[in-house]
Structure 1
Amino acid sequence: MGNRADYQTFASENSQKLASAIERGIPDTLRGMVWQLMSASKDPELEATYIRLIKETSPHEKAIMRDLGRTFPHHAFFTDGQGIGQENLFNVLKAYSLHDPQVGYCQGLPFVVAVLLLNMPDEEAFSLLVRLMHSYDLRGHFLPEMPKLQLRLFDRLIEELLPVLHLHFVRQGIKSSMFCSQWFLTLFSYRFPLEVVYRIFDNCLASGIEAIFGFALALLQQNEEKLLAVKFDDLVAFLNAQIVDTYKTEADGEAVWRTDDFVRDATALRITPFMLDTYAHEYNEMVRQRDAHLLEVDFLRRSNRNLSTQVNALEASLAQLNQEHVNILNELVKARLQSEELERELVRYKLLYAESVHKTEDALSSHRLSTSTSISNGGSSKRPSLQSMISGFTKSSSAS
């Protein structure tokens, strides 16, 4: 298996034999080469890109420097701050942050890169990292939306394969993000010893990054009784600090890891691509319905704003009409008051007229009465002549 073509030929002709060999563990001396062959990551162009990128400046350099000392601090390759291990780790992380600005730099990446650097030179580690991120979709673990899908798939696997534990987690309010995010982001390299981590990488590179689900579920399955016996606070603490100890034993006062058992338990779960595709479809459909609901809510909000604007305009028009109505009513009241005033004046004039008429009639009646009286007293029935009236008037004037 000296080159990629030889490996591909061997893998296609001896797939079962190769799978069994990988499950038993790749020899340490061959691991770096086999990883590159399995992933087809050997790429002179990418290696040349790496050489160019390490000479440039990245905006993430301070964050990378801050995390270097936290990455395998007890491993001899990384303990010396000025050593080749931390320098290579810094260079690969910086180069990738420039190569993939959308991801840039994220916590968790140093552990993945460190595992690669322990098995190959830095330029080859960079090429394999790019391959892991893009072809194996490890990149999806670091993008904003994709981790939700990974956690959703993991939740559905727990529900399907460990239903009692799933119900216990639901009742205790335990979410998978509380304990397995570090597992997925670092491919278990944050908590497990390297001898175990190497075997996990073996299987991920051979079978796909989905192999991590098997290892995660194996941990839960082997600790199910303990997990069912504790509640929220103790659950979170156990899941984050003690769950890995289930595959650790003591021999001659030293910790011994049952790596073969761990790999065997993980692969025995038989998590098929069909299962993951089904759960991914469920999740995507849920997201589609959620987005459709959000669009509908947004449409209703916009419609509500438009209706509110129309209502405000109608209320303003109504207020204006009310004011005009009030003004008209005021004018009508004034006109009515003026009409009533004129009616009162008319009534007064009618009364005065009636009184005048009445007085005239009284005067005429008195005159008729005096005339009739004089006739009855022997007076001439003839009307006095103008001459007699004047002479009478003259006599009375002389007498006086």
Structure 2
Amino acid sequence: MERESKGDATQPLARSNDSDRVDPYGFERRHDFESYKEMMNEYVAVLNRRSMRWSKLLEETPQVEKNLTVKRFVRKGVPNEHRARIWMAASGAQEQLERKPGYYQSLLEMEQDARLKETIRTDMHRTFPDNILFQSRAEPGMQKALYNVLLAYGHHNQTVGYCQGMNFIAGYLIIITKDEEKSFWLMDALLGTILPDYYSPDMLGLKTDQEVLGELVKTKAPAVGQLMAQYPGIWTLVVSRWFICLYIDILPIETVLRIWDCLFYEGSKVLFRVALTLVLHHQTEILRARSLPDVCECFKQITCGAFTMDCHTFMQKIFTEPGSLSMATINKLREKCRRQILEEESRRP
């Protein structure tokens, strides 16, 4: 797959081969390369089928609309060659880009905040040290594109500025879109609309959603809910990274990209479906935990292995195992949890 000659990230994707054990996205896979290769050998047939169906659908209706057919197609996976287009259309980012031509460039040309620049620079070398496209010895395209997107976003959304975790999200967006401006607008859709207040200074949205997950677990896996209730603040310990990094570095990349397909199309409830599926599928292991360190270790382990590696089966599970989960239910729980968090914070000295 060749990169488009647009934006700064123009080098071709790393190609996977046995000698360097690098996947198609540039990630070195020293520890799980064989299982990844095995999974991909089977998954490639699914990808080819999906690719043909998507190409036919987009030929017939080039304007991507939200309807049951497209939703079904998105849940079954968007092929890489169509991902940027589908994400842009589904999230409203394309509309924003067209409404504000030149805006992204103007953010890069304005007078830069020295403190913001320094904070972003500090995080550059921490972003995907295991990805050959982001290593400093690689061509500067990817790092430069990443820096630009984060700097522009910091000026665009000054309430948020820059927060750790955003570098990984921007990095994934650049790998997939191969375009700075599109990555910027997708980031805006995620942080401004799909996940409001996850990255604000008080991270109220993130804190709220961790507690919402706790409430959902009480309903859908009561025994696990009871166990977790013994440890106040436990959800922050075990799932804050799941949510703030949108499962990057938690789940395998093919699985993360499939989750993101649905996240851009269906919104934040997808994050809860993933978390609930992991908990429901591993109830037996979680219930064996006898201490706080046990629980934390178990939550690390349940994200690994064949269950999450097989992205196609995993994605089918997230829409069946947790049962019904409406946005109305989530919003009701969000109101309740947000109120509790604010009340607790107001009581602190």
Residue equivalent to 1:60: 116
Quote the residue 2:145 is aligned against: 88
> Amino acid of the residue matched to residue 245 of structure 2?
T
CA deviation vs aligned residue, 1:180-207 (integer Å, no higher than 9, x gap): 1111111101322221111010010111
Residue equivalent to 1:391: none
Label 1:246 to 1:122 Cα distance change in 2 as closer, same or farther (>3 A).
Answer: same
Runs of 5+ unmatched residues, structure 2? 1-57
Q: What does the per-residue CA deviation read over 1:287-326, in whole Å, with 9 as the maximum and x for residues that have no partner? A: 67669x86xx99xxxxxxxxxxxxxxxxxxxxxxxxxxxx
Shift of 1:214: 0.6
Greater relative contact order structure (CA < 8 Å, 6+ sep): 2
Cα deviation, 1:27-67, whole Å, max 9, x if unaligned, reads: 11111111111112121454522212223423222221222
Q: Please point out which of 184, 188, 207 is paired with 1:130.
A: 188
Verify: 1:259 aligned to 2:311, yes or no.
Answer: yes
Mark the CA change 1:224 to 1:62 in structure 2 (over 3 Å): closer, same or farther. Answer: same
- 2:74 is matched with 22
Paired with 1:217 and 1:135, the residues of 2 have a C-alpha distance of 23
Q: 1:78 aligns with which of 134, 150, 158?
A: 134
C-alpha separation between the residues in 1 aligned to 2:189 and 2:59? Answer: 20
The match for 1:335 is none
- The two structures, once aligned, show a CA RMSD in angstroms of 2.6
Count of residues in Structure 1 that have an aligned counterpart in Structure 2: 281
Secondary structure of 2:102's aligned partner: helix
Q: 1:289 to 1:84 in 2, by over 3 A?
A: closer
Name the % identity.
21
Task: Give the alignment of 1:218-257 within 5 angstroms.
Answer: 218-231=277-290, 232-239=292-299, 241-248=300-307, 257=309
1-structure distance, mates of 2:173, 2:240: 20
CA distance in 2, matches of 1:106, 1:123: 20
2:261 to 197, 202, 211: 202
Distance 1:101 1:54 in 2: 14
Contact 2:206 2:244 in 1 (8 A): no
Q: Distance in 1 between matches of 2:60 and 2:68?
A: 20
* 2:296 counterpart letter in structure 1: V
**What amino acid sits opposite 1:211 in the alignment?**
V
Segments of 5+ residues of structure 1 without an aligned counterpart are: 250-256, 299-400
Residues 212-263 of structure 1: per-residue CA shift (max 9 Å, x gap) = 0110111111121111112221221232x322114458xxxxxxx1112221
* The 10-residue stretch of structure 1 (259-268 or 71-80) with the greater mean CA deviation from structure 2: 71-80
Q: Secondary structure at the match of 2:247?
A: coil
TM-superposed deviation, 1:171: 2.3
* Structure-1-length-normalised TM-score: 0.65
| Correspondence for 1:175 | 234
Q: Which amino acid aligns with 1:194?
A: I
Q: Deviations over 1:148-206 (max 9, x none)?
A: 22122111111111110011112255610001111111110132222111101001011
The answer to whether the aligner puts 1:98 opposite 2:155 as a matched pair is yes
Return the offset for 1:111: 1.1
**Is the radius of gyration larger for structure 1 or structure 2?**
1
TM-score by length of 2: 0.74
Give yes or no for contact 2:285–2:298 (8 Å, CA) kept in 1: no
Where does residue 46 of structure 2 map in the other structure? none
* Residue 192 in structure 1 maps to residue 251 in structure 2: yes
3-state SS of paired residue (2:325): coil
Contact residue 208 and residue 341 of structure 2 kept, 8 A: no
Cα separation, partners in 2 of 1:198 and 1:288, compared to 1, 3 Å: closer
Where do 1:100-119 residues align within 5 Å? 100-119=157-176
Q: Distance in 2 between matches of 1:57 and 1:2?
A: 43
* Aligned-partner Cα distance in 2 for 1:101–1:2: 40
Q: Which residue matches 1:274?
A: 328
Q: Cα distance, 1:284 vs. partner?
A: 4.8
Alpha carbons of 1:289 and 1:63: their partners in 2 closer, same or farther (altered >3 Å)? closer
Change (3 A) 1:60 1:288: closer
- Residue type of the partner of 2:132? A
**Shift of the alpha carbon at 1:119?**
1.6
Q: Is contact 2:215–2:333 with CA below 8 Å preserved after alignment?
A: yes
CA distance 1:172–1:286, shift in 2 (3 Å): closer
Counterpart Cα distance in 2 of 1:135 and 1:102: 14
Q: Distance in 1 between matches of 2:262 and 2:271?
A: 9
Instruction: Choose between structure 1 and 2: higher helix proportion.
Output: 1
1:148 matches 2:207: yes
For 2:132 and 2:175, the matched residues in 1 are separated by: 11
- For 1:57, the aligned partner's letter is Q
